[in-house]
Amino acid sequence: MTRLTIDPITRLEGHGKIEIFLDDDGNVANTYFQIPELRGFERFCVGRPVEEMPLLTNRICGVCPEAHHMAAAKAADAVYGVEPPPAAKKLRELLYSGFYFTDHTTHFYALGGPDFVMGPDAPVAERNILGVIHKVGLEIGGKVIQARQYGHRIVELIGGRKVHPCTSIPGGVTKALKEHERAEIEKMGRWAIEFAQFSLKLFDDIVLGNPAYVDLILGDVYAHRTYSIGLVDANNKINFYDGRVSVVDPDGARLGFYTPAEYTEWISERVEPWTYLKFPYLKKIGWKGFVDGKESGVYTSTPLSRLNASDGMATPLAQEAYERFFSVLGGKPVHQRLATHWARLVELLYAAERIVELATDPEITSPKVHAVPTATPTEGIGVVEAPRGLLTHHYVTDERGLLKKVNLIVGTTNNYAAMSMSIKKAAQAFIKQGVVVTEGILNRVEMAFRPYDPCFGCATHALPGEMPLVLTIRDAKGEVVRQVRNC
Amino acid sequence: MPGRAMGKLGYETDRPDTVVVGLGNPILGDDGVGWRVIAEVERRLLAAGPCAAPSDGSGAGVATACLSLGGLSLMEHLIGYRRAIIVDAVRGPGSPGTIDVLPLEAFAEARSGHVASAHDATLSAALELGRGLGAVLPETVWVVGVKVERLDEFSEALSPAVAGAVPAAAQRVLELLRDRQGLAPATQLADPCRGL
């Protein structure tokens, strides 16, 4: 058997490794997507006061500290049985919308977009944000930087710091919003709506305007029929900060809803001997292996799954974009994974509209932003919709509020099984007997998981950073017969 | 932003000319070494008096920061500075605690054109982008790298060899500051760090 190794993957936080095993005929026999796990977080937390968690957990990952900050604060609210005042919840959601706006912008322009703007076969040195700007125009780069800056500023105004916010505590937030800050956020939000509309237009022009790309999106190689989950509000519209989890089957029929506290009744985790990371699946359906279909408990938690699992968007422009999305792609649910890039832009527009909606809410500058916890702390679960999937924090404390148990299911983990399936399918489609494995082919395999925007990093930035992508082909004896290095 | 002069790309126009950044995660074992070195650098700068980083941005001197960022985000924190010194954990051959001082370009990651572990872009690509957009960014980025042992386990403690290297790494940072390396002659104003 021949083994191909893609190690590590480019444009991926942390270090993943793809192993592709070929059979004697040179076709793909199996693929393994391995992820190193950072160890000891639970042990590290035990014995600490639960109110430290919003600060501690936002150090887990340099990419989405805001998501951990929010999930931890909500879990700590639950541990103390305290309900934050309405203004506090709105401020948290406003901060979170600013974060989403930055994160989705970065993904589209730096990670997902280059494959389409530059083309899947472009040299790796051009298939990045610099290439995008070179091709589309320098002013785009300015807008992207401006968008990021506004998102950071919203986080700073509410969260106290540009990165690693520190104002959410059990019972609310530590800081009310001043009128001049509110006005600044409203102004940035209005700009953000225009930017999101501009980004959707860009997607229309570059991707939907190119028949080859439309074929690529609609083709079978990047499609999987799995369950979809997403956090929704009381009207079953997408909400990133709060609500219940909607679960729909591969045909689009709703299996049900669960509240954060019910997650253990709905989600189980599968252990495989070849990886440290567990594979979450729907407990009610069961684990049937890495397979599609209604009988398989594999689900996704992505921008695409959120659109599938909801009944629409809670803001008017995003709702229009949502309707167009499903009308162009042939109705709900959509299973073509590359459409996730488009779904992300629909969410970008929602985040921008939500910023303005919350910034113009009369209650947002209320001084009542904290309810003092008075109950004896016990156990609590906090859930938010992180950009890369549902994020669940579960804490158990003693009567003094010192942590006894911590369990986290992070966004990317939800999609681990689905990503593994996507990689296998793409590898089988593109790597066949007699095909010379080129960088372009490797990139098409990578394109299978890039829509999920996987992130396994935890703020480790030790140099030299990622090694270049290396493909190793080994013969049946394990000896290297070919090596491709795309640098 | 009230109280601070902002340029068109958002940088403060009256900042110190040099920033020393500690990169890493303070709760992930040896990955936190950059932050520890910065604390030591700050302590020595404060002890030196006139060198203390003017946090109000009076136009010269040294600013310090501890960050867990890369790529575009890190670049955004370097806007407005003429020179940057980054202290970071380095993986690779060599015994833990070994210190390397190299320009950013010396790292393979920077040359390869890959978008790296920063989730978005390599720092080199981000700097190129920022410069292309007209931002004032450091002409030189020095990296003071400390070889590390453990990066994958949550802990606030450094390995003994890595902890032992903190004073020497801080000294290398101060030497870079003193030598004014990487600053173009036009920007060599009164040296606030003479005699360190």
CB within 8 A of A2, min separation 6: which ones? Answer: A21, A22, A23, A26, A473, A474, A475, A476, A481
Co-location of A6 and A153 in the same domain: no
Co-location of A212 and A348 in the same domain: yes
Residue A127: exposure state from Cβ atoms within 10 A (0-12, 13-18, ≥19): buried
**pLDDT given for residue A466 in this prediction:** 38
Distances (CA, A) of B71 to A456, A457, B47, B93, B114: 16, 14, 33, 24, 11
A90-112 pLDDT tens trace: 999 999 999 999 999 988 988 78
The parent domain of residue A136 ranges over 83-223+336-372
Give the CATH number for residue A359: 1.10.645.10
A144-163 pLDDT tens trace: 989 999 999 999 999 998 77
> Is A15 a domain residue?
yes
Contacts of B69 in chain A (CB under 8 A): 62, 163, 461
Residue owning tokens 């009744």:
A265
Contact A131, A137 (CB under 8 A): no
**pLDDT given for residue A473 in this prediction:** 52
Chain B CB within 8 Å of residue A163 CB: yes
Provide the mean pLDDT of chain A: 87
Which two three-digit tokens encode residue A209? 């305007």
What is the C-alpha to C-alpha distance for residues A219 and A59, in angstroms, rounded to an integer? 40
Contacts of B27 in chain A (CB under 8 A): 44, 56, 59
Chain B CB within 8 Å of residue A171 CB: no
> Is A472 a domain residue?
yes
What is the distance in angstroms between the Cα of A26 and the nearest Cα belonging to chain B?
29
What is the chain B residue with the closest CA to A102?
B73
Co-location of A31 and A88 in the same domain: no
pLDDT band, very low/low/confident/very high, at B190 (cuts 50, 70, 90): very low
Three-class HEC string of chain B: CCCCCECCCCCECCCCCEEEEEECCCCEHHHHHHHHHHHHHHHHHHHCCCCCCCCCCCCCCEEEEEECCCHHHHHHHHCCCCEEEEEEEECCCCCCCCEEEEEHHHCHHHHHCCCCCCCCCCHHHHHHHHHHCCCCCCCEEEEEEEECCCCCECECCCCHHHHHCHHHHHHHHHHHHHHCCCCCHHHCCCCCCCCC
What is the C-alpha to C-alpha distance for residues B172 and A365, in angstroms, rounded to an integer? 48
Across the interface, whether the CB atoms of A465 and B143 are under 8 A apart is answered no
* Cis peptide leading into residue A36 (ω within 30°): no
Co-location of A151 and A14 in the same domain: no
Whether complex ipTM tops 0.85: no
**pLDDT given for residue A10 in this prediction:** 34
Which two three-digit tokens encode residue A400? 């003094």
Q: Is A273 helix (H, G, I), strand (E, B) or coil?
A: coil
Interaxial angle between packed helices A138-159 and A65-80, expressed in degrees from 0 to 180 and rounded to the nearest 10: 20
Chain B CB within 8 Å of residue A466 CB: yes
Contact A20, A1 (CB under 8 A): no
For Cα atoms A303, A456, B22, give the angle at the middle one, nearest 5 degrees: 115
Contacts of A180 in chain B (CB under 8 A): 2
What is the C-alpha to C-alpha distance for residues B45 and A432, in angstroms, rounded to an integer? 61
For β-strands B83-90 and B140-147, DSSP reports them as: parallel
What is the chain B residue with the closest CA to A132?
B129
Max Cα distance, chain A (Å): 70
> Is A254 a domain residue?
no
Co-location of A13 and A128 in the same domain: no
Question: pTM of the entire structure?
Answer: 0.86
Is A112 or B42 the better-scoring residue by pLDDT?
A: B42
Residue A243 DSSP one-character state:
S
The upper half-sphere exposure of residue A457, i.e. CA atoms within 13 Å in the direction of its Cβ, equals 31
Which two three-digit tokens encode residue B114? 């890959």
Co-location of A161 and A219 in the same domain: yes
**pLDDT given for residue A455 in this prediction:** 67
> Is A330 a domain residue?
no
Co-location of A100 and A16 in the same domain: no
**pLDDT given for residue A446 in this prediction:** 79
Co-location of A358 and A219 in the same domain: yes
How far is C-alpha A371 from the geometric centre of its chain's CA atoms? Answer: 31
How far is C-alpha A214 from the geometric centre of its chain's CA atoms? Answer: 23
Which of A323, A345, A372 is the last residue before a domain boundary? A372
Co-location of A480 and A346 in the same domain: no
Residue B111 has pLDDT above 90, yes or no: no
Co-location of A25 and A88 in the same domain: no
> Is A314 a domain residue?
no
Contacts of B93 in chain A (CB under 8 A): none
Distances (CA, A) of A224 to A316, A419, A437: 30, 10, 24
DSSP states along A124-159: TTTSSHHHHHHHH-HHHHHHHHHHHHHHHHHHHHHH
Co-location of A96 and A194 in the same domain: yes
> Is A394 a domain residue?
no
What is the C-alpha to C-alpha distance for residues A462 and A354, in angstroms, rounded to an integer? 36
A361-405 pLDDT tens trace: 999 999 999 999 999 999 999 999 999 899 999 999 999 999 999
Which of A372, A396, A417 is the last residue before a domain boundary? A372
Contacts of A59 in chain B (CB under 8 A): 25-28, 68
Residue A9 has pLDDT above 90, yes or no: no
Q: Which residue in A470, A471, A467, A430 sits closest to A447, CA to CA?
A: A430
pLDDT band, very low/low/confident/very high, at A37 (cuts 50, 70, 90): low
How far is C-alpha B150 from the geometric centre of its chain's CA atoms? Answer: 21
Across the interface, whether the CB atoms of B154 and A124 are under 8 A apart is answered no
What is the C-alpha to C-alpha distance for residues A108 and A321, in angstroms, rounded to an integer? 16
Is A125 or A51 the better-scoring residue by pLDDT?
A: A51
Provide the mean pLDDT of chain B: 74
Residue owning tokens 């809410």:
A361
> Is A323 a domain residue?
no
Query: Would you tell me which residues 153-182 of chain B have a C-beta closer than 8 angstroms to some C-beta of chain A?
Result: 153-155
Contact A300, A226 (CB under 8 A): yes
CB within 8 A of B54, min separation 6: which ones? Answer: B16, B60, B61
Chain B CB within 8 Å of residue A40 CB: yes
A330-352 pLDDT tens trace: 999 999 999 999 999 999 999 99
Across the interface, whether the CB atoms of A464 and B109 are under 8 A apart is answered yes
Across the interface, whether the CB atoms of A110 and B133 are under 8 A apart is answered no
A398-452 pLDDT tens trace: 999 999 999 888 888 899 999 999 988 998 898 887 677 777 777 788 788 888 8
**pLDDT given for residue A44 in this prediction:** 85
Q: Is A286 helix (H, G, I), strand (E, B) or coil?
A: coil
Q: Of A18-32, A358-372, B40-54, which gets the smallest average pLDDT?
A: B40-54
Total domains present in chain A: 2
Co-location of A90 and A21 in the same domain: no
Q: How many CB pairs under 8 A join A and B?
A: 172
**pLDDT given for residue A470 in this prediction:** 44
> Is A298 a domain residue?
no
Is B50 or A149 the better-scoring residue by pLDDT?
A: A149
Which of A372, A392, A417 is the last residue before a domain boundary? A372
What is the C-alpha to C-alpha distance for residues B105 and B122, in angstroms, rounded to an integer? 11
Residue owning tokens 């006139």:
B50
